């Protein structure tokens, strides 16, 4: 799976840009603020329909403009497709594949698959549970694109149930309607998280050992704050049943606190090294190795599921690593995957590849 070419119009710092990355490793070099991350953000957008910086679409439109276009030729399985996305500060986004408008833009997901690693991701292990939940959900979208719809539906259901509780009314029939929507979508979200843990978990230990050079056991687990146990072969409907029961059991408390206190939005994907909680018991170096290992394992899991490797984006990661870890990461990079690495200091990136200079809104 690869990006053959990318064309940006009025996207962030780019007025007009056309770029054809190499099929293998691409190294984007340029000073801070040159637009390297912006370029990666556009590539990742094609595969996730959201900014990896977690900002709304309107932030991607060049300042002073009202619309922005990302176009790209991508190929996978010897099939070439043309993706076109128009982002607007005034209208909903429009998406086309091969000149055919998509009824739902989420139908674009799966045409291109991308795994991105950003500098912030290095702190994934020690940050709050929200980042780790997002990670599992992002991997789920790359593995099974339809997950996106369930995640959006679940977030809506939580927001609406919370809004009802905030209003302060105590009315079981209406709350029951929100409960049921929340449980249905939440069941599907949980079932997918369980399958992500099942697929990525076993690959994680190998990836960690490759990057750290240590022979430790590594675990990816899942702590539900409301008593659900994550089992990969449990169906979405079974999870929905568990969520329903939990919602009923905390109903009185939720009325009082005016917020939904149980459900997948409260859970914590847990990481361990040598059987100990990595968040509280591992050194910063170990935590960083583990964070890199998760993304590599995710890349391998998606490659396995899709039958070809997704595009790998590494933003400014090497400058944060000591030389041993940088060398180990280089060795662990997937052979045969299109990879784009950014750096302000190319001498710190020990990976051979096509070098591109990014400067003044241009790439050469």
Residues that bind ligand ADP (CB under 6 A): 12-13, 30, 32-38, 59, 61-63
Q: Any bridge partners for residue 94, and if so which? A: 86
Q: Which is nearer to Mg ion, 37 or 151 (CB)?
A: 37
From the CB of 341, what's the least distance to ligand ADP, in Å? 12
Give the C-alpha separation, 257 to 108, whole Å. 39
Min dist. Cβ of residue 362 to Mg ion (A): 16
What does 13 bind: ligand ADP, Mg ion, none (CB cut-off 5 to 8 Å by kind)? ligand ADP
Nearer to Mg ion, 141 or 329 (CB): 329
Q: What is the SS3 assignment for 302-354? A: HHHHHCCCCEEEEECCHHHCCHHHHHHHHHHCCCCCCEEEEECCHHHCCCCCE
Phi, then psi, of 358 in degrees rounded to 5: -110, 120
The site partner of 299 among ligand ADP, Mg ion, none (C-beta below 5 to 8 Å per kind) is none
Residue 12 near which of ligand ADP, Mg ion, none (CB within 5-8 Å, type-dependent): ligand ADP
- Which of 274, 346 has the CB closer to Mg ion? 346
DSSP 100-148: EEPSSGGGGTTSS-EEEE-GGGGGTTTS-HHHHHHHHHHHHHHH-TTHH
- What is the Cα gyration radius of the chain? 21
Q: 35 contacts which partner out of Mg ion, ligand ADP, none, CB within 5 to 8 A by kind?
A: ligand ADP
Q: Which residue is nearest to Mg ion (CB)?
A: 37
Q: How far is the CB of 78 from ligand ADP (least distance, A)?
A: 32
Both structure tokens of 42: 């556009």
Answer for the pair 130, 120: CB distance below 8 angstroms, yes or no: no
Min dist. Cβ of residue 93 to ligand ADP (A): 15
Query: What DSSP character marks residue 230?
Result: P
Considering beta carbons, is residue 62 or 185 the nearer one to ligand ADP?
62
Closest to ligand ADP by CB, 272 vs 343, is 343
Which of ligand ADP, Mg ion, none has residue 302 at its interface (CB below 5 to 8 Å by kind)? none
Please report how close the Cβ of residue 65 comes to ligand ADP at its closest, in angstroms.
Answer: 8
In the complex, least distance from residue 64 CB atom to ligand ADP, rounded to whole angstroms: 8
Q: Catalog residues that contact Mg ion under the rule CB under 5 A.
A: 37
CB-based contacts of 313, cutoff 8 Å, min separation 6? 40, 43, 44, 114, 115, 116, 117, 339, 340
In the complex, least distance from residue 343 CB atom to ligand ADP, rounded to whole angstroms: 10
Which tokens in the block code for residue 224? 């539900």
**Closer to Mg ion at the Cβ: 52 or 239?**
52
Minimal distance, residue 325 CB to Mg ion, in Å: 20
* Chosen from Mg ion, ligand ADP, none, partner binding at 33 (C-beta under 5 to 8 Å by type): ligand ADP
62 interacts with, out of ligand ADP, Mg ion, none, CB within 5 to 8 A per kind: ligand ADP
Sheet holding 276-277, edge to edge: 218-223, 268-273, 276-277
What distances in angstroms separate CA 267 from CA 175, 229, 263, 358, one per listed residue? 22, 11, 7, 41
CB nearer ligand ADP, residue 197 or residue 358:
358
37/339 with CB nearer Mg ion: 37
CB of 82 closer than 8 Å to CB of 97: yes
């Amino acid at each position: 799976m690869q990006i053959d070419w990318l064309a940006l119009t009025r996207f962030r710092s780019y007025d007009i840009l056309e770029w054809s990355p190499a099929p293998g490793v691409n190294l984007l070099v340029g000073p801070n603020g040159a637009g390297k991350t912006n370029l990666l953000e556009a590539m990742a957008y094609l595969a996730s329909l959201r900014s990896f910086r977690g900002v709304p679409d309107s932030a991607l439109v060049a300042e002073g403009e009202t619309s922005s276009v990302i176009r790209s030729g991508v190929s996978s399985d010897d099939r070439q497709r043309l993706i076109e996305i128009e982002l607007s500060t005034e209208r909903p986004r429009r998406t086309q594949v091969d000149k055919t408008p998509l009824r739902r833009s989420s139908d674009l997901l799966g045409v291109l698959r991308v795994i991105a690693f950003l500098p912030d991701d290095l702190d994934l292990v020690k940050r709050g549970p929200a980042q780790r939940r997002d990670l599992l959900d992002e991997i789920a979208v790359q593995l099974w694109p339809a997950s996106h719809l369930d995640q959006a539906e679940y977030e809506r259901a939580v927001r609406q149930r919370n809004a009802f509780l905030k209003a302060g009314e105590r009315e079981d029939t209406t709350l029951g309607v929100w409960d049921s929507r929340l449980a249905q979508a939440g069941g599907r979200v949980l079932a997918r998280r369980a399958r992500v843990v099942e697929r990525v978990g076993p690959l994680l230990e190998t990836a960690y050992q490759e990057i750290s050079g240590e022979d430790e056991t590594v675990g990816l687990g899942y702590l539900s704050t409301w008593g659900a146990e994550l089992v990969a072969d449990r169906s979405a409907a079974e999870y929905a049943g568990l969520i329903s029961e939990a919602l009923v059991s905390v109903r009185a408390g939720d009325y009082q606190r005016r917020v939904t206190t149980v459900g997948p939005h409260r859970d914590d994907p847990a990481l361990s090294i040598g059987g100990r909680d990595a968040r509280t018991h591992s050194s910063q170096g170990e935590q960083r190795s583990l964070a890199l290992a998760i993304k590599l394992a995710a890349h391998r899991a998606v490659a396995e599921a899709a039958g070809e490797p997704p595009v790998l984006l590494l933003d400014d990661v090497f400058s944060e690593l000591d030389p041993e870890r940088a060398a180990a990461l280089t060795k662990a990079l997937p052979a045969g995957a299109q990879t784009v690495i950014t750096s302000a200091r190319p001498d710190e990136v020990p990976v051979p590849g096509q070098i591109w200079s990014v400067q003044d809104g241009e790439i050469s």
